Amino acid sequence: MNYTRRALLSARRPVRPTSLALPRCRRTFSYTPRLQASENEDAFLSQFKNTSIFGKLADKPEALMALRDFAELMKAQGIDANTPPSAFQMMKLAANSEFREAAQKVVSELQKAGVDLTSQDTIQELMGLSKKVGGN
């Protein structure tokens, strides 16, 4: 029994000498300052701040919250704010009950804030914004 054990132990692989061991890589610390995340204000928002509609909405937090929730819902549905939605996307949104409820909430909050969406002046102001931002 001892003979077989000795034969097995002598047959194992030799241990690599420590002098031939590969040097360990050491990570150094970086002393550069951390960059803070910042987001550029988009062109539409900067133009929108100069409109009479923004003046009416500035002191109405309910209307601003409804608009924010609506924008988040649109983003969650895959609608890009910089491009108009396709016909398929419009049909998909029209079938979505959550979208319809959010749109109704936005309209009611805008009406409470004194923004008349049927007014020709309001429509022209919004169309002028989209032309300024679009560059047309």
Q: Which two tokens mark 130?
A: 């989209």
Q: In sequence order, what DSSP letters do the residues of 53-69 get, joined into one string?
A: HHHHHTT-HHHHHHHHH
Averaged confidence pLDDT in the chain: 77
Q: Summarize pLDDT for 20-64 with one digit per residue, the tens.
A: 555 566 666 666 666 665 555 566 667 777 888 888 888 888 988
Q: Which two tokens mark 135?
A: 């560059």
Q: How far apart are CA 53 and CA 59, in angstroms?
A: 11
pLDDT-above-90 percentage for the chain? 16
Q: How far apart are CA 68 and CA 85, in angstroms?
A: 18
- Is the separation of the CB atoms in 116 and 87 below 8 Å? no
- Residue that wins the pLDDT comparison between 64 and 131: 64
Q: How far apart are CA 16 and CA 12, in angstroms?
A: 12
**Domain ranges in the chain?**
43-134
Range 56-80 average pLDDT: 87
